[in-house]
Structure 1
Amino acid sequence: MNRLAGLVHRGWNRLGAYDLVRRGRDLELMHRALGFATLALVTLAPLLIVVAAADPLGRGGFASWLVDGMGLSGRSAQVLTDVISPPRTVIGTTSVLGGVALVVFGVTFAGSVQNGYERIWDLPAGPWHRVWRQAVWLLALTAYLYQEVQTRALLPGPLRIALTSTTGVLFFWWGQSFLLGGQVRPRDLLPGALATMAGLIGLRGFSYFVFTPLIVTNAISYGAVGIVLVVESWLIGVGFVVHGGALLGRWLLDHHGWPRTGG
């Protein structure tokens, strides 16, 4: 038994798995996932609600964005829609100052993601005047989520899966490079983008089997608060995947990829 444990230990060391665990601990990955979920709910969700309400195609509003992202269907999708969907008057009641405040709060969320990427790549924090990068990234994120929802009813299953997988990899590949200000070679960021998208696909499957029935039972037991708790749990998973995927990408590059020297 001791010999087997020694072989396993040496195998993990050879793979560099302990280094990956150490990096995740140094990054405080779970704390970052919790912070991601909190900021997403408090700063990003209100902005997306306004954007979804302004959708000229009117495909269900922000609730449909959540339903699609979480992979919900049937009664759970209907329960979430009944609780989350705001009235379309949200556009008329949002002032210019309120809209600016929503954008500023959204940029704060983007700044948190940027800080996570900088920590993963051991880079210093970017100067304050790079806030425009966060604003552009936020705009690109909104556009990415919007097209994800629109393709749900327009494309057949296999074609949509191929499109969303491709656009997802491209977004997370470009997003890392853009937020980092080009300080890391794009080719070095590709493994992280692939790992992030693979993680989101896995999270979607987990959500379908776990969160779909949980939303219904929580709605019965706790009402709207129970549904929000499920959504927040899903956002924690998204935050874990976004940061964990980038971290895994760097680990794969350092231990099993090409040298990171040269242009």
Structure 2
Amino acid sequence: MNVAALRGRVDTLVAHIPLLRNLGTEIIRIEFVDRSMLIAAQSLLAMVPMLVVLAAFLPHLIGTALEQVSQVTGFGDEAVRQVAGEVDLDQVRSETGAVGLAITIVSATSFGRAVQRMFERVWEREHVGGLRGAGRCFLWVGTWLGCLGVVNAVVNLLTDPGDALRPLLQIVGASAVWWGSSWVLLFGRVRGWLLLPGAVLTGLVQVLYGLGSAWFMPAYVESNAEQFGMLGVILALSTWLIGFGGIIVGGALLGRLLVEDPVIVRTVLRARTVLTRSR
């Protein structure tokens, strides 16, 4: 089969499946790659420094934060030890100060704003900016980190590593976090049940991404660290975050397309009618 014939079949398939046709259009409209890169960049430039500064002023957080990063990304113990060795908490405390601490925490809201703008772009809602938007993003960042910590603690409490139930609990927890996150950052302008499919997709793929990362990231990080030192660890983290950003954007976009797809909507309505009549 030549390229032209293959392309013709793909075009025919897309023409007969509205979901695929709309997906291609929406990927261009929301600027999928740019949104994913922006979320990844803000994660690296805003969230990571905030975690380091908070760990300097609240030392017990450094071990917990690095452990969670290792578990989620699959970086491995060697990378965690190298990061911990590079972070001089006494120096951070002496050079940051109260003003620097406040600026670092506030700047972390740039990650929240990037995620907020992504949700607004996907759902075609006007941007909520100003103090109201900044305040909501600030509260969301803190709550989001807290919820991730709670989910991680609950999963560790209820299951052991290798337990078959562990990934399921992680998916449920991640889905719940992103369901609430999307509703909060959209200021309740989209009905909750419409946001649920996107949250479940995001949570599912995010957990699978983390499990897959545990297989290839340790070797990749160690190889980068040997060549470039701490810079290599940062490069590996940046690569991982780009994929993470793509999961967030893709989950939100595909979730909307699913709840608005006419075939799926008709199927759900028919199923609801059948269930109603059978009662």
TM above 0.5: yes
Q: Does the CA-based 8 Å contact 2:183-2:190 persist in structure 1?
A: yes
Distance 2:232 2:49 in 1: 19
Q: 1:252 aligns with which of 249, 255, 258?
A: 258
Q: 5+ residue gaps in structure 2?
A: 267-279
Q: 1:156 aligns with which of 160, 171, 179?
A: 160
SS in structure 2 opposite 1:189? helix
Aligned-residue identity in percent: 25
| 189 and 212 in structure 1: CA distance in 2 versus 1, 3 angstrom threshold | same
Q: Does the CA-based 8 Å contact 1:80-1:215 persist in structure 2?
A: no
Q: CA deviation at 1:103?
A: 1.9
- Cross-structure match for 1:241: 247
Distance 1:14 1:210 in 2: 38
Distance 1:65 1:54 in 2: 19
Does the alignment pair 1:38 with 2:68? no
SS in structure 2 opposite 1:206? helix
Q: Does the CA-based 8 Å contact 1:34-1:236 persist in structure 2?
A: yes
Q: 1:24 aligns with which of 24, 27, 38?
A: 27
Structure 2 letter corresponding to 1:79 = A
Distance 1:18 1:136 in 2: 37
Structure 2 letter corresponding to 1:214 = Y
Q: CA deviation at 1:153?
A: 5.1
Q: 2:190 aligns with which of 181, 184, 191?
A: 184
- Cross-structure match for 2:82: 82
Q: CA deviation at 1:190?
A: 0.4
Which region of structure 1 is more displaced relative to structure 2, 133-142 or 55-64? Answer: 55-64
Structure 1 letter corresponding to 2:97 = S
Which region of structure 1 is more displaced relative to structure 2, 51-60 or 213-222? Answer: 51-60
1:222-256 deviations in Å (ceiling 9; x for gaps): 22211110000001111111111100101111115
| 55 and 153 in structure 1: CA distance in 2 versus 1, 3 angstrom threshold | farther
Structure 1 letter corresponding to 2:82 = D
Q: CA deviation at 1:122?
A: 0.7
Q: 1:197 aligns with which of 193, 203, 228?
A: 203
Distance 2:238 2:247 in 1: 14
Distance 2:153 2:88 in 1: 20
TM, length-normalised to structure 1: 0.85
Does the alignment pair 1:216 with 2:222? yes
- Cross-structure match for 1:132: 135
- Cross-structure match for 1:168: 174
Q: 2:15 aligns with which of 13, 32, 35?
A: 13
1:12-55 deviations in Å (ceiling 9; x for gaps): 33332132022112211111111111111111111122344566
| 109 and 59 in structure 1: CA distance in 2 versus 1, 3 angstrom threshold | closer
CA RMSD of aligned residues (A): 2.6
TM, length-normalised to structure 2: 0.81
| 176 and 234 in structure 1: CA distance in 2 versus 1, 3 angstrom threshold | same
Which region of structure 1 is more displaced relative to structure 2, 13-22 or 47-56? Answer: 47-56
Distance 1:122 1:53 in 2: 40
Q: 1:71 aligns with which of 74, 81, 87?
A: 74
Matches within 5 A, 1:48-127: 48-52=51-55, 60-73=63-76, 77-84=77-84, 86-89=87-90, 92-93=93-94, 94-127=96-129
1:72-106 deviations in Å (ceiling 9; x for gaps): 44xxx223332355244367434221221122111
1:115-138 deviations in Å (ceiling 9; x for gaps): 010000011111412322112211
Higher helix share: 2
Q: CA deviation at 1:150?
A: 3.7
Q: CA deviation at 1:8?
A: 4.4
Distance 2:61 2:105 in 1: 22
Distance 1:198 1:42 in 2: 26
Q: 5+ residue gaps in structure 1?
A: none
Question: How many residues end up aligned between the 2 structures?
Answer: 256
SS in structure 2 opposite 1:258? helix
